[in-house]
Amino acid sequence: MHEPFLELRDIGKTYPGVTALAGVSLAVAKGEVVGLIGENGAGKSTLMKVLGGVVAPNTGSIVIDGVAHPALTVTQSMRAGIAFVHQELNLFENLSVAANVLIGREPRMGGPLRLIDQARLKRTVEPLLARLNVDFGPDTSVAVLSIAQRQMVEIAKALSLDAQLIIMDEPTSSLTLSETERLISVVAELKAHGVSVIYITHRLGEIKQCADRVVCLRDGRMVGTLAKDEIAHGAMIRLMIGRDLKSLYIPPKVTPTTGCEIKELRTSAFPDRTVSLEIRRGEILGLAGLIGSGRTSLACTVFGIDPPLGGEIRLDGEPLRIASPRDAIARGIYLAPEDRKRAGLVLDLPIRENVTLADLPTYATWWLIRGSAEATAAERQRARLGIKAPSVDVPTATLSGGNQQKVVLAKWLSMRPRVIVFDEPTRGIDVGAKSEIYELMRGLADNGVAILMISSDMEEVIGVSDRIAVMHEGTISGFLERPRFSEHNVLELAVGHALAA
């Protein structure tokens, strides 16, 4: 390895009753891409906060370009050339690209008013955008940019700070396949210009594509390193969870039967297209397609969030009228939404109240909620799903992504599910928790629940589904049975091409 730009030496960080980091040492060379992996709660976020100057370590030192620091402030971290591209993008939609890139550092004109020099602002940002080969200009409003384009603005902002090390935290969680490929190529370009990258993701295929080396955290400790030629999916999983994972696919134990039939349903996203498919009891139907193909709109219509513009939904042969989520819930049709934090949970409430929120009359006497009944139901689900929390009274916001998803599930499993739609069920969840979610889904299917799993993760769609339906521009472009499962076939249908017989 070349001379390291950054060294972390025996970094330790403790909170009352919790050891977040214990003796973590890591070196990053100039122009090196290091993949940082680990389950949720492994200590990755705390380590990044130490690097960004947000928290100070209790022990150890941070060495930048040969100069040791016991801790960094946010300002020192930025001046040292450390920049972040967070999963939650931090941009002002009402400003232009150029204004966002140089926010707080705008070039000023002379005179008493010290107005922003718009021409120089634009000239400064133009070469940064050219370096990233983006398809928008410095004057473009951030409000009209896609998530992938906004990510490029964040990277341009990092380059404007003369970043020597860019830390990317789950950078592709909301990107399409083509957008992900573009980001991977940008990482390669940064590396070629001598910029170091720490790439944090649960998508291990991306790590294999772009990383020179992989380091793994588990329970706050550095548990292993993989050189470039050692980076493989199985090796990374063994480091993360200390064991091999079983195959993703778990065959059904029951023969699928008629469940939920969707016939020529028209949604607000594609009012001139119809969707027809059957979600059978006892099976997991994967729904694939490019972002914007209408999958989430279908889920919202089935759950009653968006009114259907035509067609019908039948459950066990009976036609349903679903005009609101309340109608869907009353019929046993539930949705685990794509954005669990915004649409699936009330993060400030404890686990107990989230579990019972959709079925409060069951826990009420004369309109007063019985806390003991709530606690009993929530505790039963906590044990059943293996939710890792000291009690059902802790705020849901304090849980990891995988455990938050289990709380969403606990809410529905405490009721009477007949159909459950999972929209991106494992987004932002580590591989160990993913495996648990898949087992829960299979268990539900085996108990006669009809499961629709919407996913942009190709490995997940192919590895978990019993059948796959693929959407293209608001309609089903084809179905695949397991013998025909392949990335090629899914992608062909996703772009609207018919498959050869």
| Domain spans of the chain, in order of start | 4-241, 256-332+416-501, 348-415
pLDDT band, very low/low/confident/very high, at 243 (cuts 50, 70, 90): low
pLDDT digits (tens, 9 = 90+) for 247-292: 678 889 999 999 999 999 999 889 999 999 999 999 999 999 877 7
Q: What pLDDT does residue 260 have?
A: 95
Q: What pLDDT does residue 57 have?
A: 93
Q: What pLDDT does residue 155 have?
A: 85
Residue 129 pLDDT exceeds 60: yes
The hierarchical CATH code for the domain 4-241 is 3.40.50.300
pLDDT band, very low/low/confident/very high, at 464 (cuts 50, 70, 90): very high
Q: What pLDDT does residue 235 have?
A: 87
In this structure, the number of other CB atoms found within 10 A of the CB of residue 234 comes to 10
pLDDT digits (tens, 9 = 90+) for 69-112: 999 998 899 888 898 887 667 788 889 999 999 888 888 887 78
Pick the closest to residue 48 from 100, 92, 87, 89 (CA basis). 87
Residue 432 pLDDT exceeds 80: no
pLDDT band, very low/low/confident/very high, at 244 (cuts 50, 70, 90): low
Q: For residues 296 and 356, what is the distance between their CA atoms, to the nearest angstrom?
A: 25
- 478/338: higher pLDDT: 478
- Give me 221's structure tokens: 């400790």
pLDDT band, very low/low/confident/very high, at 115 (cuts 50, 70, 90): confident
- Residues 201-210, mean pLDDT to the nearest whole number: 87
CATH of range 256-332+416-501; options 3.40.50.1000, 3.20.20.20, 3.20.20.70, 3.40.50.300: 3.40.50.300
Residue 1 pLDDT exceeds 60: no
Residue 186 pLDDT exceeds 80: yes
Residue pair 261/298 in contact by the 8 Å Cβ criterion: no
Q: What are phi and psi of 213, to 5 degrees?
A: -160, 150
Pick the closest to residue 271 from 214, 309, 239 (CA basis). 309
Stretch among 165-179, 440-454, 457-471, 483-497 having the lowest mean pLDDT: 165-179
Which H or E run contains 177?
A: helix 177-192
Q: What pLDDT does residue 395 have?
A: 92
Q: Mark residue 104 as left, alpha or beta (left: phi above 0; alpha: psi -120 to 50; beta: remaining).
A: left
**C-alpha triplet 159, 163, 165: angle, nearest 5°:** 125
Q: What pLDDT does residue 246 have?
A: 61
* CB neighbour list of residue 311: distance below 8 Å, 6 or more residues apart: 262, 263, 264, 265, 266, 274, 275, 276
What pairs with residue 196 in β-bridges?
165
Q: What pLDDT does residue 174 have?
A: 66
Q: What pLDDT does residue 14 have?
A: 87
Q: What are phi and psi of 437, to 5 degrees?
A: -65, -40
Q: What pLDDT does residue 429 have?
A: 75
Q: What pLDDT does residue 311 have?
A: 94
Q: For the chain, what is the mean pLDDT?
A: 88
Residue 123 pLDDT exceeds 80: yes
Residue 457 pLDDT exceeds 90: no
Q: For residues 302 and 298, what is the distance between their CA atoms, to the nearest angstrom?
A: 6
- Count H helices, E strands: the chain? 16, 22
Residue 113 pLDDT exceeds 80: no
pLDDT band, very low/low/confident/very high, at 65 (cuts 50, 70, 90): confident
The reply to whether domains 4-241 and 256-332+416-501 share a CATH topology is yes
- Residues 29-43, mean pLDDT to the nearest whole number: 87
Pick the closest to residue 448 from 249, 301, 315 (CA basis). 315
- Residues 399-420, mean pLDDT to the nearest whole number: 89
- 299/177: higher pLDDT: 299
Residue 365 pLDDT exceeds 90: no
pLDDT digits (tens, 9 = 90+) for 151-175: 888 888 888 888 899 998 888 766 6
- Residues 37-57, mean pLDDT to the nearest whole number: 86
